[in-house]
């Protein structure tokens, strides 16, 4: 919980990781890709305040104690949602797996929600792994990496027939939330595999699923906004938006936030620190203090305390059925974490 000027904020970090990118985990023969991937991640960390930058050794494999301190003790987070990324083409035991995340969650069951993943290119074996993970970890969401390399393939689309088979099964298993990485590329993945157009197809055909587009499709912000405003079940995941832009590119951050608030709306935006790229502490403090820098941005919706409370935690709490203490709810909203409330939010803008 974060408190500022007498206002209390319930914080849900809806996009974070517990990865192992240490050299001991690199696949032999693919060391250049494994090293290049994590070095690219660390370059993104350079967009945050200098005092938060880490050494290469610390960044490649964060410790359990460091994570718990930086996310919960120092970082104000009430509930964190693990989003896995496997990358087994380059990392022998996977980069950030459901099992690794789940093992930490078992030690701190009140702190974490464990999402899993699937890859439609894995066929029936992948389906069984997916079903087993949902059964074991009680996942309510999945994280999909459409640009991930897999046995010679450099990506897939959510609109592929096999992807639809997995989405249909996810819905049968009680999965509600589909987090899709659609944003800045990370070397050596292909930028075009992160295009947002396939989300448009899937969101229309699976109206009972929520599609949280992580990183809001950057740099395709206009494409994302015009798609998301017509799809009531598409949400804007703000990981990278806050961490990558608020400090390093404040004017561009104001434009991106303004576009999202205008087209998508404050009820369909969720905070994610993208830990361990960036720590949540400075992002939460900075966002609570944030406003447009001048009247150049006067044609965008205004932001207030309620806007920030929704984005920093209450919207994700609705999606995941997370119990929110009464004193941290918005006045007049009732219980925001009742299971019946984890439903689609109406359009954020009328066009």
Q: What is the CATH number of the domain that holds 102?
A: 3.20.20.140
Q: How many CB atoms lie within 10 A of CB 323?
A: 14
In a domain, 350, yes or no: no
In a domain, 351, yes or no: no
Looking at the structure of the chain, the number of domains it has is 1
**pTM, whole model, 2 decimals?**
0.93
pLDDT tens track for 169-205: 999 999 999 999 998 889 999 988 899 999 999 999 9
In a domain, 205, yes or no: yes
The pLDDT value recorded for residue 333 is 60
In a domain, 347, yes or no: no
In a domain, 311, yes or no: yes
- Triad 193, 115, 63: Cα angle to 5°: 95
What b-and-e string marks burial along 284-308, b requiring 16 or more CB atoms within 10 Å of the CB? bebbbebebeeeebeebbebeeebb
Residue 109: domain span? 2-341
Q: How far is CA 312 from CA 171, 271, 286, in A?
A: 26, 5, 12
For the chain, residues with pLDDT lower than 70 are 332-351
CB 40 within 8 A of CB 186: yes
Phi-psi region of 266 (alpha: psi -120 to 50; beta: other; left: phi over 0): alpha
- Triad 176, 133, 184: Cα angle to 5°: 65
In a domain, 36, yes or no: yes
Q: How far is CA 240 from CA 27, 85, 88, 194, 309, in A?
A: 28, 16, 23, 14, 19
In a domain, 315, yes or no: yes
């Amino acid at each position: 919980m974060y408190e500022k000027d007498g206002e209390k904020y319930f914080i849900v970090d809806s996009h974070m990781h517990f990865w192992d990118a240490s050299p001991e985990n690199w696949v032999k023969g693919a060391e250049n890709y494994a090293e290049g991937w994590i070095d690219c991640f660390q370059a993104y960390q350079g967009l945050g305040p200098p005092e938060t930058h880490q050494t290469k050794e610390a960044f490649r494999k964060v410790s359990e104690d460091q994570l718990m301190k930086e996310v919960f003790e120092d970082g104000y987070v009430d509930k964190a949602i693990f989003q896995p990324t496997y990358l087994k083409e380059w990392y022998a035991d996977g980069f950030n797996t459901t099992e690794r995340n789940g093992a930490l969650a078992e030690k701190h069951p009140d702190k974490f929600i464990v999402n899993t993943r699937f890859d439609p290119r894995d066929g029936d074996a992948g389906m069984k792994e997916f079903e087993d993970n949902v059964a074991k970890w009680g996942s309510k969401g999945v994280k999909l990496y459409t640009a991930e390399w897999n046995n010679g393939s450099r990506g897939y689309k959510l609109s592929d027939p096999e992807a639809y088979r997995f989405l249909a099964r996810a819905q049968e298993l009680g999965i509600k939330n589909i987090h899709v990485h659609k944003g800045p590329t990370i070397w050596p993945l292909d930028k075009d595999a992160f295009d947002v157009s396939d989300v448009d197809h899937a969101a229309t055909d699976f109206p009972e699923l929520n599609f949280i587009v992580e990183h809001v499709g950057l740099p395709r912000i206009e494409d994302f906004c015009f798609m998301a405003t017509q799809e009531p079940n598409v949400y804007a995941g703000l990981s990278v938006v806050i961490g990558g832009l608020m400090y390093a590119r404040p004017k561009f951050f104001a434009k991106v936030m303004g576009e999202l608030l205008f087209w998508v709306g404050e009820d369909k935006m969720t905070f994610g620190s993208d830990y361990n790229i960036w720590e949540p502490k400075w992002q939460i403090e900075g966002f609570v203090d944030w406003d447009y820098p001048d009247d150049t941005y006067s044609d965008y919706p205004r932001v207030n305390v309620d806007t920030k409370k929704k984005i920093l935690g209450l919207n994700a709490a609705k999606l995941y059925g997370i119990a929110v203490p009464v004193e941290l709810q918005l006045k007049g909203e009732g219980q925001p974490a009742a299971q019946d409330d984890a439903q689609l939010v109406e359009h954020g803008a009328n066009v």
